[in-house]
Structure 1
Amino acid sequence: MPSITDLWRQGENSAVEFKSASVRPESLAHEMVAFANTDGGSILLGVEDDGRVSGIGTELDYEQWAANIARNNVVPALDARLSIERLENQRVLLIDIPKGRDKPYQTNTNQFLVRVGSTNRVATQQELMRLFQQAGVFHFDLTPVERASIQSLDLSKIDAYFQRYDVDFEQDENRDGLLINTDILTEERLPTLAGLLVFGINPQRYLSDACISFAHFAGAQIDEELIDKQVIGGTLDRQVEGTLAVIKNNLREGSIIEGAKTRPTDYYYPDKVFRELLVNACVHRNYAIHGSRIRVFLFSDRIEVISPGRLPNTVTIEKLRCGVSYAVNPVLVKFMENLRFIDKLGRGLPMVYREAVTHDRQVIFEEVGEEFRVILGLHDQA
């Protein structure tokens, strides 16, 4: 945690805000809400906008005052960390706002705000949708795909899916009702996003970015020579299997010949590792983010799988390693689980982590902006 002096020297930015001691309660609430809805941040109360340290007086219990604002002017109430610090021989109140666990937050005047650079602004409809999705209040995979219809679905694949459960879809007199009850269609008889992504004939006709971009670079940087580049579309199960085949085709397993046998010279990840990363990216990405695809980058020393969307409110990087999971797209998870691509026990990413660590490989789970990234080392760490 940086000291208050370090924060002050940074100046105002996406994680630091200066406020005069004379700030109005509603203005301070705006800062709290914006930080909580984004990545958290620190407010230095007693520092002017130009960075001059003016301090806070002793006539008011500022800690209690700020705590009351966090509880009464923010909805839901926010648990801020407060402390009086010394800065330039002045008393300053340091208000640490954590990344919110109960997003979306709003002011008591019903404003949803987000932090952008060193300023706050009212959340757009798309940003608000993402916040509600992170909270589990809204599931985008249940929304209708407006231009699609039941003719956009592969009925033979749906029939094979139901046959697993001894349901004769072809002979069912109420096929539309069956599709509605299983979330493949909405009540208006439009394909759901989940239904189209799993059972669609050509999902990318309606969801152009619901695919995987693969790129293989000769070196360790993105500006190196491009060896291979592909876009893998189709339904999610085909995207996973197709991208897995592309990865294996581009990865070269080092080996030596000993007598009549070939022996690998380096550990080679099993298919289940790459399959898990691809399935995780497909079912947990935020499909409400338009203009962004899942991206798989293969470098000389690592592979990166980048998925649009942040982790849900209650999930942290540390929890992922321990198997804690939350379905951002529960219908997609249900379909892919029933197709035997995943289970709901949260064992996938912990398995990837163990495989890498056991063989002394780098493994990083991280959030970068509005994306979740997994970096998997391909060679022993030096």
Structure 2
Amino acid sequence: MATLPASHPISQLDILAQLEHGQDAKWAWFEDGCPISTLALHLAGMANSRGGIVILGIVNEEIRGVADVADSIDHLLHAALSLDPPLITPLPQPIKIDGVQVVMIEVPAGMPHIYMYEGRYVRREDVQIVPLKPIELRRLLIERGEMSFEMEIAKDATLNDLDWELVDRYIDKLQWAEQHDAKMLLLRRGCLARRDNLLYPTNAGMLLFGKSPQTFVRNADITAVRFAGEVMSDTFNREDITGTLPEQIRRAETFLIDHLRKGVQLRDRMARNEQFEYPLEAARELVVNAVAHRDYSIQGDNIRLFLFKDHMEVFSPGKLPGPVTVDNIKDERFSRNPIIVQVLADMGYIERLGYGIDRILELMTLHNLRHPDFQERDGGFRVMLYNQTLTPPRPSLAALIEDINLRQEKALDYLMDGEHTRITNSELQQMFPDVHPETIRRDLADLVHKDILQKFGTKRGSYYILKKKLLTDE
């Protein structure tokens, strides 16, 4: 299948390349005048899957064209608007291929609804239209925000399955909630729901406050592994992290602290600074995002936290929620699990408005590391951090030398900034206009005495440069 960036306009060359491959799950073509019902089913199937392209005027890989472009555009629009709800797409476009006119309509990935035609929910599988199975329909409803797994009552759970000590600790954090009844507070937060006038824990309630959450929501856990090399191997340290979601976050952070490699850097004044191979806050934020936003309706897979020699990755089950895509993840705000997100925010684990990705990008930039890789697969979403610096940062010479004052630090940083090779008394004086000129002269003379600078010239024509050996020493 020809793979195109999300914003790439489809061209004649793209279509010709796809004709070589043939039709697949994301490309379909039909003869001019194809029945509305056929087009509608294929448009619904693509909208309920991962989007795609439908072209009028091609039959069996032969480009025959359309008789009337305007009529063909209306035909495709009629098919799209006949769905329930109506499918709103970019307008169909005429494209000329080898002098022959065809008409194309694009169904973007990540449509906001589930689409039906004449009572049928379908998806496109390879080149076929197949009915959505009940479990597929339910998952799609959850993915697109039209129903919520976290708000459903946990199967076979009762109030006795909640750890009320955890609930009390939660209420203690909410100063405004101290006078509220615990059950009523959980009901308002979405952690309890009513059925037949009785209260029951929701899936969110069990995940956040359950005595044994995994009994009711299978695979709601984390597999954390540290591998020795750059790929999975038989040499590893593994921990299976279960419990409530807050407990999983705490234990995952402990795993990161125990298994991320650490190095020692020398900072200003020769202070030793122990630093992880990734910003710990960024690594932790990846785990928190996965715990808060994964699709808990998928109970055949769990969150995976894998540490390798050159990178780390966090995998969470389920596609990106709602309108969020790999391309807009830095800007789009949408939560699959607003109850879980709110309670974790109440507990201080995340920001309610969800700026975790922004913070990760900021931290990676601050530590001179490349931005994360985001990958969406059919089974879930993966984020990878890499521990190689983009370019070795220029060391601050002042950080490697003891017993110098602030003015001397500035002088050395000035000489190491890549733009300046010499400094004069007057240049340092401009940086510290309130300091007496004689003090400035003594500062530079002291650096000469320490064998750090070398002086050239006399009186007003004098200037200072770094000793050559300091420029070449590792």
Fold shared per TM-score above 0.5: yes
Q: What residue in structure 1 maps to residue 221 of structure 2?
A: 211
Residues in 1 aligned to 2:69 and 2:90: alpha-carbon distance in whole angstroms: 22
CA 1:88–1:221 in 2, change beyond 3 Å: closer, same or farther?
A: farther
Per the alignment, residue 264 of structure 2 pairs with 255
The answer to whether the 8 A contact 1:293-1:307 is kept is yes
Identity %: 26
Q: State the match for 2:190 in structure 1.
A: 183
Shift of 1:209: 0.4
Shift of 1:190: 2.2
Q: Distance in 1 between matches of 2:89 and 2:284?
A: 39
What amino acid is the match of 1:93? V
How many angstroms apart in 2 are the aligned matches of 1:74 and 1:155?
A: 45
Q: Distance in 2 between matches of 1:329 and 1:287?
A: 9
Distance 1:320 1:59, change over 3 A: closer
Residue 334, structure 1, aligned to residue 337, structure 2: no
Q: CA deviation at 1:216?
A: 2.3
Distance 2:308 2:89 in 1: 42
Q: Does 1:4 align with 2:15?
A: yes
C-alpha deviation, 1:24, in angstroms = 0.9
Deviation (angstroms), 1:219: 2.5
- Pick closer, same or farther for the CA change 1:85–1:242 going to 2, 3 Å: same
User: For 2:91 and 2:69, how far apart are their aligned partners in 1?
Assistant: 21
Task: Output the amino acid matched with 1:75.
Answer: P
CA deviation map 1:168-217 (0-9, x unaligned)? 68xx8x65445434322221322111111111111112222000112222
Confirm or deny that 1:193 pairs with 2:200: no
Pick closer, same or farther for the CA change 1:274–1:211 going to 2, 3 Å. Answer: same
Change (3 A) 1:219 1:95: same
**CA 1:58/1:152 → structure 2, altered by over 3 Å: closer, same or farther?**
same
Q: 1:148 to 1:85 in 2, by over 3 A?
A: same
Query: Are the counterparts in 1 of residues 83 and 115 from structure 2 also a CA contact under 8 Å?
Result: no
Shift of 1:25: 0.4
Note the C-alpha offset of 1:339: 0.7
**Which residue in 1 is equivalent to 2:380?**
371
Code of the aligned partner of 1:90 = V
Matched residue SS, 1:112: strand
Q: Tell me which stretches of 4 or more aligned residues in structure 1 moved more than 4 Å.
A: 166-169, 174-178, 256-264
User: For 1:27-79, what per-residue CA distance to the aligned partner results, in whole angstroms no more than 9, with x for missing partners?
Assistant: 1011111112222111222223x423333223972112212222234523322
Partner of 1:82: 92
User: Which of 352, 356, 359 in structure 1 is aligned with 2:364?
Assistant: 356
Q: How many angstroms apart in 1 are the aligned matches of 2:69 and 2:178?
A: 77
- Verify: 1:42 aligned to 2:53, yes or no: yes
**Whole-angstrom distance in 2 between the partners of 1:7 and 1:370:** 25
Correspondence for 1:380 among 380, 383, 389: 389
Q: Does 1:145 align with 2:154?
A: yes
Q: Is contact 1:159-1:168 (8 Å) kept?
A: no
Structure 1 stretches lacking a partner, 5+ long: none
Whether the 8 Å contact between 2:369 and 2:387 is mirrored in structure 1 is no
Query: Please, what is the CA RMSD of the aligned residues?
Result: 2.7
The answer to whether the 8 Å contact 1:111/1:122 transfers is yes
- CA separation of 1:143 and 1:133: change in aligned 2, threshold 3 A: same
When Rg is computed on C-alpha atoms for both structures, the one with the higher figure is: 2
Assess if the C-alpha contact under 8 Å between 1:219 and 1:225 holds in 2. Answer: no
Deviations 1:258-279 (A, max 9, x none): 9997555x77433321221111
The secondary structure found in structure 1 opposite 2:92 is strand
| Residue 283 (structure 1) aligned with residue 288 (structure 2) | no
SS across alignment from 2:237: strand
Kindly indicate whether the alpha-carbon contact (under 8 Å) linking 2:361 and 2:371 is maintained by their aligned counterparts in 1: no
Secondary structure of the structure 1 residue equivalent to 2:291: helix
Distance 1:78 1:370, change over 3 A: farther
Structure with more contact order per residue of length (Cα contacts < 8 Å, sep ≥ 6): 1
Cα distance change, pair 104–33 in 1 and its aligned pair in 2 (3 A): same
* Distance of aligned partners of 1:59 and 1:133 in 2 relative to their CA distance in 1, 3 Å threshold: closer
Alignment pair present for 1:104 and 2:111: no
Matches within 5 A, 1:223-302: 224-255=233-264, 262=272, 268-302=277-311
Letter in 1 for 2:108: P
After alignment, is 254-263 or 366-375 more displaced? 254-263
**In 2 relative to 1, CA 139–59 (structure 1 residues): closer, same or farther, beyond 3 Å?**
closer
The count of residues paired between Structure 1 and Structure 2 equals: 374
| Structure 1 partner of 2:24 | 13
